[in-house]
Amino acid sequence: MTAAVALEPEESTYTTMRRGLALSPELRTGIAGTLALAVVATAGKIVVPVAIQQGIDKGLRTAGGPDMGAIGTIVSLTAAMLVVTVTCGYFMNRRLFTVSERALSGLRIKTFRHIHNLSTLHQQTERRGSLVSRVTGDIDTISQFLQFGGLLLIISFGQLLVATIIMFAYSWQLTLVVWAAFGPLAFVIRHFQKRLAGAYSIARSKVGIMLGVVAESVVGASVIRAYGVHDRTADRLDTAVEEYREAQYQGLRTSVGIFSLGELAAGLVNAGVVLLGVALGLGGDLSVGELTAFLFLVALFVQPVQMATEILNDAQNAIAGWRRVLDVLDVQPDVADPVDGKALPAGPLGVSFKGVQFAYPGGAKVLSDVDVEIRAERKVAVVGETGSGKTTFAKLLTRLMDPAEGTVELGGEPLTGISFASLRSRVVMVPQDGFLFDTTVAGNVRFARPELTDAELLTAFEELGLGDWVAGLPEGLSTPVGERGEALSVGERQLVALARAYVADPDLLVLDEATSAVDPATEVRLARTLDAVTRGRTTIAIAHRLSTAQAADEVIVFDAGRIVQRGPHSALVAEEGSVYAKLFASWLEQTR
Amino acid sequence: MSDRVLGRGLRVLGQAIRDEPRRFTVAVLGSCLFGLMTIGSAYVVGQVIDRVIIPAFDSGHTTNGALAAGASAIFAVSMLKVLGIFGRRLGAGSMQFRLQASYRRKVTRRYLQLPLSWHAKHPTGNLLSNANSDVEAAWSPIAPFPFAVGTLVMLIGAVVSLFAVDWVLALVSLVVFPAVFTLNVVYSRKMSPKITRAQALRGEVSEIAHESFDGALVVKTMGREAAETERFAAKTTELRDALIQVGRIRGAFDPLMDALPQLGTLAILVVGGLRLGAGAVTVSDVVSVAFLFTVLAFPVRAIGWVLGELPRSVAGWDRLQNVITARGDMTYGSAGLPGSGPAVVRFKNVTFEYDGVPAIEDVSFTVPPGKTVALVGPTGAGKSTIASLAARLVDPSSGLVTIDGVDARELSGASLAGTVGLVPQLPFVFDDTIRGNITLGRDGLGDSDVDGALGLAQASGFVAKLPEGLDTRVGERGTSLSGGQRQRLTLARALAGGPRLLILDDATSAVDPRVEAEILAAVRAADASVLVVAYRRATIALADEVVYIEQGRVVATGTHEELLASVPGYIELVTAYEESDADRELEDA
């Protein structure tokens, strides 16, 4: 019955395992051989008790003193068998580690890639940390389980089976005693197991909360100091730390409870075996050696049961981790690379929005009835108040999201039919938050085109009019930018991000407030140089600094999710009382 | 494992005992009880065989009393074992978790007290792992530690009791147990560098994933998913190979470690046979010694676990100590600021160096009471550094910053926080409600203050539209809000405290010009002196005085008009838009 608990686990666990194995077929590599080795290795645990029984009955308790010849035979035979089982154990472990690590490293990479394939929208709904655990901690729990628990579980049940068979051979009555004590235990343990799973899941969520609070206290260090809220932050930290500790302890208490149940059952069984064993012995059905061996076998029986209770705890964690990984892999990217996607036509790209609507899941409409045609090689500025829909427009244009209704076309091709490879090499967006990787300035610009030499990078900065800025950095191009670029000022990060987009050499460049933190003189200079170097390409700039709009061929004005005005700057300003005229008046007031 | 690591590891364990003496005692007592009962069970089984089973089988009958005594002795031993398990595991677990919690508190307290310059040198990821995995690593040997101590006691007991039975059999144990112990040490030595390497690679894999997901937008917009996957795959493959290495060593040692006590048992059979022949021992002596070997095989490994964890523990402990003993705390003085109304800030020849490179040099200026001073300069000129110095987030390398005539370093934390309100360039929002983000738990800030501040920051409108108003949770880093909304929220946070000095570090960059104008009008109406880092001409024009800086030095101080008349760099900066207008008109013409 104990075996039944694990061999017929809950449906969902079984499903998870099956899905997991289907996704990582490498796990089955040489499974038959590994299992065969496992059987032999496990047999090693049985040979010594049997040797003791044989030794006592045929060597020690022989009439006329111990028979050293018999003992010698038994011991050398057993030692030889131990050599075989140890060797098998080694090869089994080796295969197991190699196969599981290979398979899981494949799963890690697959999951990593899949997370990048998900849309930005989906990526944002998950906490960064939890996405990272999908490719780290969660997979570690699977590997730990497969290498320690999973095999031990199989060995344990093998051991249970073998112990039962041999016990049965010695005495079926005593075997019944053993099973009568452990059978009910299986049900009790099952009940506790559920409590334990609950306790562990609480602990997992508490550790997540704790890490969140610690991260806040680190990332928000300057705010905490500026507002003198050390005490409040310390309280928040203490609470999170303490709650995690309590959750850990609760889990431990339950697991110790389960473990000691096994020990109690073992005590009961041993006592029962002695009572019944003596009765059977008196009836002539059992020898002293057999009864002694039986007591050893009970120990062999108890050990895997206790082991199994512990392993099943790990199993709960591993299955939960596996399920989380599979769940991420199950999410179909809502913005997917089309099968047999087309390449964009060569040359400058025009853009067309046809009847486009967009709403965030469960939210109100952010864009309605957007119909707009942007000819190739035009420089277009998109303006509007915060929340008017201009960033959404940029995201649809670069296919970071797909419209709820309508189509977006690029170079006359529907965006959804264009291969990502072609799209991303020809269309580049510079987001407002100029995220930099923790490497040098050069490394960050090279992100777009790894083959560029330092000289070519310098030329690119020169072309953008940023040569002096690079020269002024402590180590020039080799200056480290720090984590997320934090060693540079916010404006400087934007300069690097812009250079990165520039060297990507796109045919359509989308700038989403890409220079919002740069000083006006630099911005104007940049605008001018960008204008020169992007001649012959299409540029769409989202801006709330209207200098950008003034310099554009054409301005598109958004208000409350709709395009309300469109045309050259001078024409739009002339429309009295219009949204743009008001925006521009306020801009002038601000800057002149 | 070098002897140094062993010695230092033992010292860390000593610290654990000093920190949690009661729980350690309970755990060791529990472990000893468990150990004694493990030996006891071998003894009891031997006795029951000798005194109950053999006489019964030999004589063909037995008494109920003898049977009951035998059975209850076996069961009683089990009960005591359970008691031992409870004491050992709950004691050890409680000790381990309490140590973890206590060191997490210590480490995070340091995060709160260490200066920002220290923070700048320690990436977030490292600080997170200090508080999490390093704490875990440091105390990783604690779970098996009391068990190991108990096992040691038990081993000594076992050897002594064996000598009481028969000195020859005892000698076998003197060979086998040290052999198991030696094998454990060899194992630990071979394993620890491999495990350390795997652990380091784990960290690197995690760092790549974190950074890559953090920059997911850039990865996506540049179409670099495949390249990023390759970068991740390269590290993952290294980790895989390291883990396989670990697996090979484990794979070899695990079966050996199981087999050694079994070989001991076989030796007992041979030696026992000889001694039985010599009449020195009884059959039950041999059986109980054999049984002892079987049951001891497992606990002996606890010692190996502790030894195996020591290198990791020492490495974790060292990283914790780096934080705990880090110096240069931002200390606050005791001076208060009794004044009311707008405060005066004065910079006197202030230089601030970062890693020996001056970020600003010899900066002097004053923000007079109730006046607005604009800090203007090109990207990277050092404006944010000056803002941080004025709020005393950092201290000058030389020179002096005073608030109302008092050296900022002498002010108490409370009076500083009560006087100065800083709105940083990048708004930081806590995973809390709108209300919590504005009050930050500061005393005496009620909903009317919150509403007032939201109004001044032009944020009432969007907050009113949120599903739960002030009680809306804004999510991790305020992800549910736009950049402009986050800026207005942090502005409201600063205004809610009624600061006497307001420092705005380009705090409205993501806000529309019209909204910004309204915000600035509100700020000027507040009863405070204002230091504002600005680019927009309107903002600058509102200022009573402008401090223009280039490359960390004050180039000119004066009114907007004065500077506009005389300072070339300033003219270029603030008239950039007009110049570009003019250029355009020229081109168009």
Q: How far apart are CA B554 and CA B337, in angstroms?
A: 28
Instruction: Dump pLDDT digits (tens) for A359-377.
Output: 877 777 888 889 999 999 9
For the stretch A506-529, pLDDT in tens is 899 999 888 877 888 888 878 888
* Closest CA–CA distance from residue A373 to any residue of chain B (Å): 22
In whole angstroms, what is the distance from residue A518 CA to residue A489 CA?
9
What pLDDT band is residue A6 in, cutting at 50, 70 and 90?
Answer: very low
Q: Does A587 touch chain B (CB under 8 A)?
A: yes
Q: Is the pLDDT of residue A483 over 50?
A: yes
- pLDDT single digits (tens) B365-410: 999 999 999 999 888 888 989 999 999 988 999 999 999 999 999 9
Which residue in B has a C-alpha nearest to residue A491's C-alpha?
A: B379
Q: Which residue of A has its CA nearest to B231?
A: A109
First-to-last C-alpha distance (Å) of chain A: 85
SS (H, E, C) B159-216: HHHHHHHCHHHHHHHHHHHHHHHHHHHHHHHHHHHHHHHHHHHHHHHHHHHHHHHHCH
The more confident residue out of B85 and A521 is B85
B34-70 pLDDT tens trace: 888 877 777 787 788 888 888 888 887 778 888 888 8
Place of tokens 């011991």: A75
Residues 248-267 (B) with a CB less than 8 A from some CB of A:
248, 250-252, 254-256, 258-259, 262-263, 265-266
Report yes or no: A475 at the B interface, CB cutoff 8 Å. no
Residue A508: phi and psi, rounded to 5, are -130, 120
Contacts of B62 in chain A (CB under 8 A): 278, 282
- The DSSP output letter for A344 is P
Tell me, rounded to whole angstroms, the distance of Cα A541 from its chain centroid.
34
The predicted-structure confidence for B97-120, as pLDDT tens digits, reads as follows 999 999 999 999 999 989 888 888
Cα–Cα separations (whole angstroms), residue B265 to A304, B279, B451: 20, 20, 80
Q: Could you tell me the CA-to-CA distances from A43 to A90, A157, A160, B279, B368 in Å, in that order? A: 14, 12, 11, 34, 88
Burial class for B26, CB neighbours closer than 10 Å (0-12, 13-18, 19+) = buried
With a cut of 60, say whether residue B196 has pLDDT above it. yes
Q: Compare CB distances from B213 to A132, A224, A583 and report the shortest one's residue.
A: A132
Q: Which two tokens stand for residue B471?
A: 């009680």
- List CB contacts (< 8 A) between A490 and chain B: 425-426, 506
A384-419 pLDDT, tens digit per residue, is 887 788 888 998 998 988 998 999 999 889 999 999
pLDDT at A564: 92
Residues in a beta bridge with B464: none
Does A220 sit within 8 Å of B430, measured CB to CB? yes
Contacting residues of A for B45, CB less than 8 Å apart = 270, 295
The per-residue b/e assignment along A404-426, b for 16 or more CB within 10 angstroms, e otherwise, is: bebebbbbebebeebbbebbbbb
H or E element, residue A541: strand A538-542
- Please give the interface size between A and B, counted as residue pairs whose CB atoms are below 8 Å apart: 492
Q: Are A177 and A272 in contact (CB under 8 A)?
A: yes
Q: Which structure tokens are listed for B113?
A: 């007290």
Closest approach of B458 to chain A, Cα-based (Å): 13
Considering only alpha carbons, which residue of chain B is nearest residue A55?
B269
Residue that wins the pLDDT comparison between B346 and B62: B346
> CB–CB of B413/A228 below 8 Å?
yes
What pLDDT is attached to residue B410? 92
Rg (CA), chain A: 35
Nearest CA in chain B to A227: B417
> What pLDDT digit, counting tens, does each position of B152-190 carry?
887 887 788 888 888 888 888 888 888 887 888 788 778
Condensed to tens digits (0 to 9), the pLDDT of residues B549-564 reads 998 999 999 999 999 8
Q: Are A517 and A490 in contact (CB under 8 A)?
A: yes
- Interchain CB distance below 8 Å, B277 and A68: yes
Segment B518-528 shows an average pLDDT of 82
pLDDT value of residue B351: 95
Contact B281, B272 (CB under 8 A): yes
pLDDT-derived band at A2, boundaries 50, 70, 90:
very low
Q: How confident is the model at residue B427 (pLDDT cuts 50, 70, 90)?
A: confident
Quote the pLDDT of residue A4.
Answer: 33
B295 touches chain A (CB under 8 A): yes
Whether the per-residue pLDDT at A1 is higher than 50: the answer is no
Q: Which amino acid is at A458?
A: L
Contacts of A438 in chain B (CB under 8 A): 123, 211
**pLDDT for residue A10:** 43
Give residue A3's pLDDT. 32
**Residue A405 contacts B where some CB pair is shorter than 8 Å:** no
Residue whose structure tokens are 């540029």: A539
Mean pLDDT score of chain A, rounded to an integer?
Answer: 84
Taking the CB of residue A4, how many other CB atoms lie within 10 A of it? 10
DSSP letters, A236-298, are HHHHHHHHHHHHHHHHHHHHHHHHHHHHHHHHHHHHHHHHHHHHHHHTTS--HHHHHHHHHHH
Cβ–Cβ under 8 Å, residues B235 and B201 = yes
Architecture label for domain B3-324: Up-down Bundle (1.20)
pLDDT surpassing 70 at residue B121: yes
pLDDT of residue B435: 93
pLDDT of residue A11: 44
Please state the rounded mean pLDDT for residues B257-267.
85
> What letter would DSSP give residue B63?
-
> Do the chains contact at A90 and B123, CB–CB below 8 Å?
no
Alpha helices in B20-89 (DSSP H): 21-48, 54-59, 64-85
* Radius of gyration of chain B, Cα coordinates, nearest whole angstrom: 36
Tell me the per-residue pLDDT of B273-288, one tens digit each, with 9 for 90 and over.
888 888 888 887 887 7
Binding-face residues of B in 143-162 toward A, CB within 8 A? none
Between A166 and B500, whose confidence is greater? Answer: B500
Counting every residue, how long is chain A? 592
CA gap A327, A531 in Å, rounded: 46
Closest Cα in chain A to B498: A227
pLDDT at B206: 84
Q: Does A84 touch chain B (CB under 8 A)?
A: no
CA angle B432-B434-B436, nearest 5°?
Answer: 55
Mean pLDDT across the stretch B15-31?
A: 95
What is the domain partition of chain B in residue ranges? 3-324, 345-588
- Classified as helix, coil or strand, A514 is coil
Q: Does A454 touch chain B (CB under 8 A)?
A: no
Nearest to A105 among B86, B222, B237 (CB): B237
Cβ distance of A223 and B388 shorter than 8 Å: no
Q: For position B589, what pLDDT does the model report?
A: 56
HEC letters along B344-404: CEEEEEEEEEECCEEEEEEEEEEECCCCEEEEECCCCCCHHHHHHHHCCCCCCCEEEEEEC
DSSP labels, A459-481: HHHHHTT-HHHHHHSTTGGG-B-
Across the interface, whether the CB atoms of A517 and B509 are under 8 A apart is answered: yes
pLDDT tens column, A278-306: 888 888 777 887 887 787 778 778 777 77
B294 interaction partners in chain A (CB closer than 8 Å): 48-49, 296, 299
Chosen from B109, B256, B430 to mutate, greatest number of chain A CBs within 10 A: B430
Are residues B441 and A229, on separate chains, in Cβ contact within 8 Å?
yes
B67 touches chain A (CB under 8 A): yes
Residues B488-497: tens digit of each pLDDT: 999 999 999 8
User: Hey, what's the torsion of the CAs at A58, A59, A65, A68, to 10 degrees?
Assistant: 140
Q: CB of A507 within 8 Å of any CB in chain B?
A: no
Q: Which of A123, A278, A479 to mutate to test the interface with B (most CBs of B within 10 A)?
A: A278
Cα separation, B177 vs A380, in Å, equals 81
Tell me, what's the pLDDT at A168? 87
CATH class in words for B345-588: alpha beta
- Phi/psi at B167 (nearest 5 deg)? -70, -30
Q: How far is A575 from chain B (nearest CA, A)?
A: 19
Q: What CA–CA distance (Å, rounded) separates A476 from A462?
A: 13
Per residue in B236-246, pLDDT (tens digit) is: 999 999 999 98
Which range is least confidently modeled, A139-153, A216-230, B441-455? A139-153
Give me the residue from A102, A299, A524 closest to B576, CB to CB: A524
Q: Kindly list the distances between the CA atom of residue B380 and the CA atoms of A119, A297, A568, B364, B568, in Å, as whole numbers in the listed order.
A: 34, 77, 34, 19, 18
Return mean pLDDT, chain B: 86
Pairing of strands A427-430, A508-512: parallel
B202: distance to nearest CA of chain A, Å?
Answer: 8
- Tell if the CB–CB gap between B417 and A229 is shorter than 8 Å: yes
Using an 8 Å CB-CB cutoff, list chain A residues near B239. Answer: 105
8 Å CB contact of A516 and B286: no
- Contact across the interface for A222 and B428, Cβ inside 8 Å: yes
Percent of chain B with pLDDT over 90: 31
Q: B584: pLDDT confidence band, cut at 50, 70 and 90?
A: low
Which A-chain residues 212-241 have CB contacts (< 8 A) with chain B? 212, 214-230, 232-234, 237-238, 241
- Give the one of B132, B224, B243 whose C-beta lies nearest to A447's C-beta: B224
Tell me the chain A residues in contact with residue B70 when contact means C-beta distances shorter than 8 Å: 271, 274-275
**Model ipTM?**
0.84
Output the pLDDT for position A22: 85
Chain B touched by A44 (CB under 8 Å): yes
B270–A237: do the CB atoms touch at under 8 Å?
no
Q: Which residues contact B58 (CB under 8 A, 6 or more apart)?
A: none
pLDDT above 50 (res A7): no
Residues 6+ apart with CB under 8 A from B266: A48, A51, A75, A78, A79
A273 burial via Cβ count (<10 Å: 0-12, 13-18, 19+):
buried
- Chain B residues close to A497, C-beta within 8 Å: 218
E strand or H helix that includes residue B464: helix B460-465
Window B:172-231, CB contacts with A under 8 Å: 202, 205-206, 209-225, 227-229
